[in-house]
Structure 1
């Protein structure tokens, strides 16, 4: 209870600020207590009086005049502040003369600067004129190119229309005479047509629409096209079209029907001797050596097949002959796959091999004659 009373007594004590006149020297010693809570046991601390603190000197030491004089005669202040008498008009004239003397530029510089400016302006004008000429030329070239592209597009569209028209007529033709008129090399091909259609009708399923058309380059000639046609019965057939110099398209009939001098199956079964025949066949390398052609050191063997037939014959040529090199070159170009060619085949009299034939000539490296073959070839 006594502790509570003591605390309350301390809380009632007011804290006041008191102004102290520092000009008066306090002779009475100052006593500072550490804190209020320990007032009962606080020990007085005596601080020194102001009279006991050694006063530091705040005076600025300035050297005497004799220490820094460097002249024998020191001018008085009246001489230093005495104004010099000067004519204002003279000052104005002097300024002009000084400026004129400092800025005296030779006339040659003005001439040089003028020439440079004149040359720059002339060059700019010439450059502008050249740019205008170049812009006009570029514009004319662009317009000409656009005109050429438009003309080429128009011609290409017309060519496609002609190709489709001749294809439509080809599938709807009913006579050999009409068919020969729209096909390539009609003088040579018409007799073949008459033989081919001797026991079959000329017309077949009619043309419905074109499903593909792409350009072909054969023997460095780019006037051939391969057209994929869909027929009315749903079948799809390919036709090769040649565009002549007069822009007239002609269809290659021989490749379309895969013309053969006789049916491949009949040739394989009958094996007629004494006369060679030019057949459109697929050729590929093989190793079937038998009977007269059993010596692989003497002969090269090739497997021969034809379109729409399962019959296989084996053609033989002399090893390292020019004919073997020609056929081998075609196979290499076709990455070893079977290749479409026209070969002249012959069955030698008395041959024992039941499927062996002699290859006498590579007539064409494809099923189409790019140029008409000679009659004696």
Structure 2
């Protein structure tokens, strides 16, 4: 019996190739481990495509023609185009340049100013109490005041676009950070806002100082002379008038009070031994051109608790019970 033609063909490849089936009627199969190991030269660079010798290429071409098997064709094609696994290229990350403290502060400052502008714009554009509450300090405490101001007293809620902030001055008051902001105004006085900068980076507008909120109208307060304590925002300055039950200038300190929305002035008295009285005098002296003479100094903003005290003669003098705040701002 003559040898199959396929056996002579594979004999030319050498002893490494083993015949799995010598029946010429069936496709010849080559042991997978042999193809994987003998047809590539491991001495070459792993990233370089392996080159087969002309002898091997010729034999493989003849094998495809003789056998014509689709499986064999696919196998040889795969051996021709497949490259061994390439070593992945190492990506060396570029080290980011560290920002200086000054650069970090500059970026944070720019971000803060943008957020501040966003809050002020939202506050000015709000057209309802509910919408405005999202931008104000102490929303739970001031909500009933806002409802009283806009609904019961029928003050109009002016809606405006933020065109610019003409002045921005950072202030620290009793350890809290604020921005004093002035906005353009068509009137005699520029609109002024106090905006608190919170520890979480957010900002809140002080609504009470914006509208100059007081629970009593000043003229009504002076006319009705309530004997129950009332907290009011006023301007206070030094005074030297002592009358009726408050004639003793060694026991009492006299102050002149006025209101932003009224021309009426009134004298009020406070006991000198109270801390609030000493604090008010100290602030007046620190802001005075001549600390030794406070007679002609402008009034400073204070939040005071006041009531009228009636003398045996039926005369009512205004009494300062307590210094609530050395400004119109309320602190927690």
- Establish whether TM, by shorter chain, passes 0.5: yes
Q: Note the aligned Cα RMSD (angstroms).
A: 2.4
> Aligned residue for 1:254?
208
Q: CA offsets per residue over residues 53-99 of structure 1, 9 Å max, x none?
A: xxxxxxxxxxxxxxxxxxxxxxxxxxxxxxxxxxxxxxxxxxxxxxx
2:166 is the counterpart of 1:211: yes
2:233 is the counterpart of 1:280: yes
Kept after mapping to 2: 8 A contact 1:167/1:251: yes
DSSP-derived class of the 1:308 partner? coil
Report the CA distance between 1:205 and its aligned residue: 4.2
Kept after mapping to 2: 8 A contact 1:208/1:231: no
> Aligned residue for 1:315?
268
> Aligned residue for 1:200?
155
DSSP-derived class of the 1:208 partner? coil
Kept after mapping to 2: 8 A contact 1:292/1:352: no
Report the CA distance between 1:263 and its aligned residue: 1.0
> Aligned residue for 2:20?
none
Kept after mapping to 2: 8 A contact 1:313/1:355: no
Q: Which of the pair is proportionally richer in helix?
A: 1
2:257 is the counterpart of 1:304: yes
Kept after mapping to 2: 8 A contact 1:292/1:353: no
Greater Cα radius of gyration, structure 1 or 2: 1
Unaligned runs of 5+ in 2: 1-94, 289-293
Report the CA distance between 1:354 and its aligned residue: 6.3
Report the CA distance between 1:349 and its aligned residue: 4.2
1:112-191 → structure 2 map (5 Å cutoff): 144=98, 146-191=99-144
- Specify whether residues 161 and 233 from structure 1 end up closer, same or farther in structure 2 by C-alpha distance, changes over 3 A only: farther
Kept after mapping to 2: 8 A contact 1:291/1:353: no
Kept after mapping to 2: 8 A contact 1:207/1:232: no
- Specify whether residues 232 and 172 from structure 1 end up closer, same or farther in structure 2 by C-alpha distance, changes over 3 A only: farther
Q: Give the Cα–Cα distance (whole angstroms) in 2 for the partners of residues 172 and 352 of structure 1.
A: 53
- Specify whether residues 152 and 351 from structure 1 end up closer, same or farther in structure 2 by C-alpha distance, changes over 3 A only: farther
Kept after mapping to 1: 8 A contact 2:309/2:317: no
2:312 is the counterpart of 1:357: no
Report the CA distance between 1:323 and its aligned residue: 3.8
DSSP-derived class of the 2:235 partner? strand
Report the CA distance between 1:344 and its aligned residue: 0.5
Q: Give the Cα–Cα distance (whole angstroms) in 1 for the partners of residues 101 and 274 of structure 2.
A: 52
Kept after mapping to 1: 8 A contact 2:179/2:195: yes
Report the CA distance between 1:298 and its aligned residue: 3.4
